[in-house]
Amino acid sequence: MSERGEHLTIPTPSGHVSGVYLRPDTPDATVVVAHGAGAGMDHPFIVGFAEALADLGLATLRFNFAYREAGKRLPDRAPKAIPVWAAAFEEARRRSEGEPLWAAGKSFGGRMASMALAEGAMDPAGLIFLGYPLHPAGKPEKLRDEHLYGLEVPMLFLQGTRDPLAIQELLDAVAAKLPTSTLAWQEGGDHSFAVKGVRRTAEEVGASLAPQAAEFVRAPR
């Protein structure tokens, strides 16, 4: 796996966390990228996505939540995770040159970004969800959608059609009630966007989502 970018330490209310910043010449935007619950910022999927965005002309900053930085497996609850997200976002703002700042995240990381925006903890130009966890696996009645309806920024949902954490008709219904959202189904993809019968590394899978994300960021509004 490639290893690019500036490694940095980000101060947060929950202690310092690691980050990696990658900035091409004259980027159109910066995308801050959060990992999912089960893996940190150096998971190949996250690296592949962030580095592919940079190759497409967008700056990226990926970071660890505090629990991953501490070597723990159980993700932080929102009251602890959201301030870390906000601190990483502000670090990206300090390094920017006035370009728009977007927030992206895999599963848990994306959900925490949307909650941080809903609480006013940060102000991204838009959100990119890499597999939004609409409900726990096997529990479609427990929707995690309520806070989304108050958000007014552009939102891109990149979602696998076989994702057990987002039954297709349920997410279709949620997105239909979000006027600023775009839902892009990835045919055959599971929660990790793996497709049966298609051999790809996690890095390649993450990178494959970058063109859709970059196009959405650059879309005229």
Q: What is the pLDDT of residues 178-196, one digit of tens each?
A: 999 999 999 999 999 999 9
The maximal CA–CA distance of the chain, rounded, in angstroms, is 46
pLDDT band at 2 (very low <50, low <70, confident <90, very high): low
Q: Is 143 helix (H, G, I), strand (E, B) or coil?
A: coil
Q: Give mean pLDDT, residues 12-19.
A: 97
Residue whose C-alpha is closest to residue 128's, from 34, 43, 21, 17 = 34
Identify the pLDDT of residue 55: 97
Strands 6-10 and 17-22: antiparallel
Distance of alpha carbon 82 from alpha carbon 17, whole angstroms: 13
Q: Give mean pLDDT, residues 141-153.
A: 97
Does residue 138 have a pLDDT over 90? yes
pLDDT tens-digit series, residues 36-47: 999 999 999 999
In the chain, the amino acid numbered 119 is E
Q: How far is CA 59 from the centre of its chain?
A: 14
Q: How many residues appear in the chain? A: 221
Domains and CATH numbers, the chain: 6-218 (3.40.50.1820)
pLDDT tens-digit series, residues 196-215: 999 999 999 999 999 999 99
